[in-house]
Amino acid sequence: MCCLEQRYFMDISYLGKDYPGWQRQKNVTAIQNILEEKMSIFFQKKIRIVGSSRTDAGVHALQQFAHVDLPPLQNLSQAVYHLNQLLPIHVAINQIYSVKNDAHARFDAIQRTYVYKIIRKKNPFTSTTHHYLRKKLCRRAINQGIKYLSKTTNFSSFSKKNPSEKHFLCQIFAMTWHEIEDEITFSITANRFLRGMVRAIVGTLLCVGQKQLSIVDLKKIIHNKDRCQSQIKMAPAQGLYLKSVIYPDHIFFPSHENTIAFRHSRLS
């Protein structure tokens, strides 16, 4: 980092339906590509950002974080406004926070929450934001599955192959399943997530809820610790959202504008 630059965290939202995911890619336009391109135009220098999570193609984010090194910004709200004028309608920067120069959007995150949304009644306005599923589900069986999964720590059976993955241990803080009228929302909070993990868990729970898998089958899948042998069905991408990412307070500078924005984020 240049000695004249300051590190910032950006709170970002996006609708992922038209994008191949968060991760920067060649020859296609990912969310990271878009942000770096528009920020490079605004700041008239090459910008590179680092995200907190790598969401897959078609997956959305209510709150994604990324860190970036920039010349000191005099007005964070004004920077947010001007950058949003350059970004496409499906991508938005909600807030920018000044942080300590060694703060890292991915490695300093202490908690992440994903939600998965299912709609039981056909609705053209939710076709790209929810998974449409009319089949009846046994809520009792799903809750039994959630209870067992909540005690699990090794999620290798629910992870796509990834050579860079050093281990498959995840600490689950909360896992819930709520049904309100025609909408179902599954929520999961953990210290970290593996590639494809949430969609694999939801797909498995849907199989449990449809009596295609028993709780005994679920236990076998977990204990086998082998994704290839488990034949898990992935839930469709359009129902998945990265909902929130939490960081320790000490990495944020206690400026007036920074504090107000951060408190608002925690309460929303």
Give domain status of residue 149, yes or no. Answer: yes
> Both 118 and 93 in a single domain?
no
> Both 42 and 122 in a single domain?
no
> Both 135 and 90 in a single domain?
no
Residue 233's pLDDT is what? Answer: 85
Burial class of 185 by CB neighbour count within 10 A (0 to 12, 13 to 18, 19+): middle
Counting the structural domains of the chain, the total is 2
> Both 209 and 255 in a single domain?
no
Residue the block writes with tokens 């799903």: 142
How many angstroms separate the CA atoms of 35 and 144, rounded?
A: 42
pTM of the model: 0.91
Q: What is the CA radius of gyration of the chain?
A: 20
> Both 61 and 135 in a single domain?
no
> Both 115 and 202 in a single domain?
yes
Contact criterion met (CB below 8 Å) for 35 and 12: yes
For residue 228, the domain's CATH number is: 3.30.70.660
Residue 224's pLDDT is what? Answer: 84
> Both 125 and 182 in a single domain?
yes
> Both 235 and 252 in a single domain?
no
The range of the structural domain enclosing residue 154 comes to 111-241
Give domain status of residue 21, yes or no. Answer: yes
> Both 168 and 98 in a single domain?
no
Catalytic annotation, pick one of 56, 102, 217, 249: 56
> How many Å separate Cα 242 from the centre of its chain?
3
Give domain status of residue 1, yes or no. Answer: no
What are the pLDDT tens digits along the chain (268 aa)? 655 899 999 999 999 999 999 999 888 899 999 999 999 999 999 999 999 999 999 999 999 999 999 999 999 999 999 999 999 999 999 999 999 999 999 999 999 999 999 999 999 999 999 999 999 999 999 999 999 999 999 999 998 877 677 788 999 999 999 999 999 999 999 999 999 999 999 999 999 999 999 999 999 999 888 766 567 889 999 999 999 999 999 999 876 455 444 544 554 4
Residue 246's pLDDT is what? Answer: 97
Give domain status of residue 203, yes or no. Answer: yes
Residue 13's pLDDT is what? Answer: 98
> Both 138 and 204 in a single domain?
yes
Start-to-end CA distance of the chain, whole Å, equals 32
> Both 220 and 252 in a single domain?
no
Q: At residue 16, what is the residue type?
A: G
> Both 103 and 118 in a single domain?
no
Structure tokens belonging to residue 7: 């590190």
56 in catalytic set: yes
Give domain status of residue 200, yes or no. Answer: yes
For residue 259, the domain's CATH number is: 3.30.70.580
